[in-house]
Amino acid sequence: MKIAVFSTQSYDKEYLDKFKEDLNLTYFEASLNTSTVSLTKGYDVVCAFVNDKLDKETIDTLAKNGVKAIAMRCAGYNNVDLTAAADNNITVMHVPVYSPHAIAEHAVALILTLNRKTHKAYNRVREGNFSLQNLTGFDLYNKTVGVIGTGEIGAIFCKIMLGFGCKVLAFDMVESAELKSAGVQFESMENILKQSDIISLHCPLTPKTFHLFDEEAFAKMKKGAMLINTSRGGVIDTSAVIEALKNRTLGYLGIDVYEQEDKLFFHDLSESVIQDDQIQRLISFPNVLITSHQGFFTKEALDQIAITTLKNITNFASGNTIENEVKLNK
Known catalytic residues are: 232, 261, 293
d(CA 173, CA 99): 23
List, as own/partner pairs, every contact residues 136-142 make where C-beta atoms lie below 8 angstroms and the sequence separation is at least 24, other chains included: 140/111, 140/112, 140/115, 140/164, 140/165, 140/166, 141/165, 141/166, 142/166, 142/167
Chain Cα centroid distance, residue 178: 25
Instruction: Give bridge partners of residue 226 from the DSSP assignment.
Output: 198, 252
Q: Find the distance separating the first CA and the last CA of the chain, reported in whole Å.
A: 30
CA distances to 26, 59, 68, 325 from 53, in Å: 19, 9, 17, 19
Chain Cα centroid distance, residue 165: 26
* CA angle (269, 59, 12) in 5-degree steps: 45
